[in-house]
Amino acid sequence: MGDFTRRALFAGSAVGAVGALLPATAGPAAARTGRSRASYRAAYHFTAPDQWKNDPQRPVWIDGEYHYYYLYNADYLSGAIGTAWRLATSTDLVSFTDRGVAVPKDTTPGGDVWSGSAVVDTENTAGFGAGAVVVLATMSPHDGASDQAQYLYYSTDGGRTFTPHGTDPVLPNPGVRDFRDPKVIRDEERGRWVLALAENDKVGFYHSADLRTWTYVSGFVKNGIGVLECPDLFRIRAGDGTVKWVLGVSANGKGAGLPNTYAYWTGSFDGTDFTADAAEPQWLDYGWDWYGAVTFDKRGTDGSVDEGTRYAIGWLNNWDYAHFTPTIDSDGLNGTDSIVREISLRRAADGTYHLASRPVMALDRYVSRTVRLGDLEVAGTRVLDYRGTAYELTCEIAWEQLTGAGVQLRRSPDGVRHIDAGVYRDYAFLNRRGTVSPDQSGRFQESRSPFDPARRTVRLRILVDRTSVELFLDDGRYTHSSATFPYLVDTGLALFTLDGAAVFRNTVIREFRV
């Protein structure tokens, strides 16, 4: 994707717009005078150190660390445009160390640097040396839809700093609109590189022997879910031994009543053509704010790749309201990611395959406090004796007969404001209507995913942070991620049922220190 200023509001106007989201003691005037204020920065999710971030770039494993690049604009608060690639490193994908800008913007006639992907060229196919890190990224010299092209940068210092490979694109625009977000993978079986490129309603596939010269070979077309962005292509093995290829894209399906997150197809890939198992995509997240997501290899400490699990991370925002966040005023930043997730391939009862998600297991090592509430009987609303702004809640809800059940998160002292998550009749939901949210239109407040009421039980795992909620249902078949901006004084928690009673079994709250 391109830089934020080409898609939404001028940064200067955004700062004033979000002032209304903050408590009266923490408005823009406090930021200008330097007066002490409360922080809305996420407690255990990745955030930009300052200014702006949007698209994650697929992390790569280098010298025992994950190198996580992301689009970053150091000039966001001044209103200047353009993104660079900033780098953070991590060994466990929970705690990150900032390494500064790796691929700078505006150092060539191409301008700023948009999304793409990095690979480690272990065999020196590109000629920059064995082990060089090569980035292909979109640049648009005249900031237009028809001059988007793919440019190459390379690093010989382990991915810390990059040098442009000339000033010409390695994959020029053939004269089409929307030609961006190159995702490169290595086809070891055939000894070549494969590139997936977002081309409006198509994902184009290209081959290269050296990362510098590319040949178009095929395309996968999907209409009806908006402009396709940030393609993803990977191979994964299910627990039953079945191997599938997965093609993913970030897509806006709101116009068709679908999510605006990560659409994917399971299928097969012969190195040239992707063949989907079904025409319609599945969705890796049903919330409003899991965009520009990428998946990447799960590595062992020895660098080996786990064929049955991948990691994933998404941008916790949405281009419809990207600049409406209290973190601009409170912390001088706009940019938060989802928790890193572990992705696995599961077989459903009908024989089809889908991806399932769970928070990265390393998060368990950062638990600072555990509150075990046991089994709780609820008929109506039960307010719990717990207060918090950042935590995880897990429970299993069981019932004989009712219309709905769930939890009220970040509940205000008077019980008027809260975020609701649970099940209602035949769907599961995450609803942010009862608190402050970035959606100024009011249309995108409740996200829904399928649920079979005949089961009479559901497992919830919910990650709550200062400006987000991520809901995982049962085995992670369905997830919902949404940005939410509760007042920091809204710290309560309640359980509820509708038209019946339920038992909330093994209710546990965990807090984290990162």
Spatial separation of the C-alpha atoms in residues 253 and 227, rounded to whole Å:
9
**Which H or E run contains 371?**
strand 367-378
Query: Which of 63, 133, 65 has its CA nearest to residue 96?
Result: 65
Angstrom CA distances, 46 to 83, 228, 362, 464, stand at: 18, 25, 14, 14
Contacts of 270 (CB under 8 A, 6+ apart): none
Contacts of 21 (CB under 8 A, 6+ apart): 324, 325, 326, 436, 485
Spatial separation of the C-alpha atoms in residues 187 and 234, rounded to whole Å:
11
> Which residues, in sequence order, are bridge partners of residue 393?
462, 509
DSSP-derived 3-state class of residue 321: helix
Residue from 3, 55, 181, 297 carrying the catalytic annotation: 55
Catalytic residue at 232? no
Sheet containing strand 180-187, edge to edge, reads: 180-187, 192-199, 202-208, 215-221
Tokens describing residue 92: 């466990």
DSSP-derived 3-state class of residue 90: strand
What amino acid occupies position 78?
A: S
Find out whether 308 and 299 touch, Cβ atoms under 8 Å: no
> Which residues, in sequence order, are bridge partners of residue 377?
503
Tokens describing residue 167: 């000033």
Spatial separation of the C-alpha atoms in residues 428 and 405, rounded to whole Å:
10
Q: Which residues are catalytic?
A: 55
